[in-house]
Amino acid sequence: MTTMTDASVREFKMPDVGEGLTEAEILKWYVQPGDTVTDGQVVCEVETAKAAVELPIPYDGVVRSLHFPEGTTVDVGTSIIAVDVTGGAGGAAPAEAEAPVPAEVPEEAKPQARQPVLVGYGVAVSSTKRRPRKGAEVPAQEVAAAVQHELNGHGGRAETNGHGGNGALTGLADQASPSPSPSPAAARPLAKPPVRKLAKDLGVDLTTVIPSGPDGVITREDVHAAVAPAAPEPVRTTPVAPVVPAPVTTHDGTRETRVPVRGVRKATATAMVGSAFTAPHVTEFVTVDVTRTLKLVEELKRDKTMEGLRVNPLLLIARALLVAIRRHPDVNASWDEANQEIVLKHYVNLGIAAATPRGLIVPNIKDAHEKTLPQLAAALGELVSTARDGRTSPAAMQGGTVTITNVGVFGVDTGTPILPPGESAILAIGSIRLQPWVHKGKVKPRQVTTLALSFDHRLVDGELGSKVLADVAAILEQPKRLITWA
């Protein structure tokens, strides 16, 4: 029975905040039951496979309940919070005013409330008593009692052939108590919508699956177990030695720690595996003297035009890569697998790999090719600070074309970076060290680094990749080429 108060409760469902994501983890609740909320107020923070996102509530009202605690991973489309949009004013409406209970119905025969098991599902409390049939002279309870009495009086059985004294009574019992049909709750197994879809895709009847979840809920593992072929009984033709079972693997909690892979880390792992085994990677290396570039960085730090901006070697390396792409635009492309086409990009969304507490993310600077050096410095500074605070939006991590990863900040000389999915090239910057270098015919200490360029060989052949990497190195060696080649 739905009261007026229940009709005023609005359920806010977990939205798809990342274009096609199927789940998100609730990191923190900002409200509690009884709190007043307004339209647009942030009520919780969730982490998707791409970023941490704050969710605003689209209602005005009072929080009725929070359906999940912090740390729970919730499927998209599942209700996470209930809000009373009337502000709780209608909560005192008596149930008798809406649907009075007939006096002849015993108190124990009243329908019991539905017990919540999963959000959107529930099971009704079973009852052996049936509602009186319309027009019946005798209540069903009395008929059942009479039948039981007659059964006990005849040695525990009743005549069913119509010739005994119990024929009329048997007919009355059959009329008043037909064969019970299974209740909807019993006929519908408990399972989340994604599990039901999985069962449908695999052709599994959920009524035949043995549940292992709490409160009899069917899990994904239960569905997979239902379709797994049973191991055939081995045919033994000759006696064999008894098989000693393998020792059960145990994990010492004091010596090992298991960390669930989810959110950003899970998405990164999936993307990197897909990229590594989809795009044919080629990596080339070059070691370059960047002494003049570091001197230019120090000059720019003192320039009033760059005052208040983040100026570092990464800024000039990013500018050098953009100039190299302008000189060789075919390197800026993507592969269309469905149409078997190369898609040339006339814009550069420059990705910057950033290590965060939640894992590696690659936000990108939109239309980086159009920005001046001060604008590029401002965009880099904002990108880094936002990523460090864990506030990078999903949109900022989509649509990248080429990427830079600076492994030198960890003291690493170089590496073979893996392409972000859908991108054509990624440039790795190694550590900048003072090393002996032949300069103007003499061995002198110079600031030296190693660059590594990985590219998709379907899009970029060896010649094109070599030219791009050589251009970046030439600019860093002689930064005046930023002007002459631009």
Question: How many C-alpha atoms does 153 have within 13 Å on its Cβ side?
Answer: 10
- Mention every residue, 6+ apart, whose C-beta is less than 8 A from residue 203: 227
Q: Is the dihedral of CA 122, 128, 129, 134 positive or negative?
A: positive
457 is catalytic: yes
Asked if 190 and 117 touch (Cβ cutoff 8 Å), the reply is yes
Nearest in space to 113 (alpha carbons), one of 130, 129, 100, 125? 125
Encoding tokens for residue 461? 């052949």
Bridge partners (DSSP) listed for residue 10 = 83
- Dihedral angle computed from the Cα positions of residues 367, 369, 375 and 376, in that order, rounded to the nearest 10 degrees: 100
CA separation, residue 358 to residues 47, 256, 267, 466 (Å) = 9, 21, 11, 35
Q: Is the dihedral of CA 412, 416, 420, 426 positive or negative?
A: positive
Asked if 136 and 152 touch (Cβ cutoff 8 Å), the reply is no
| Catalytic hit among 149, 224, 439, 457 | 457
Q: Quick one: DSSP state of residue 309?
A: S
3-state secondary structure of 197: helix
Report the C-alpha gap between 199 and 208 in whole angstroms: 11
Distance between start and end Cα atoms, the chain: 73
Active site residues: 457
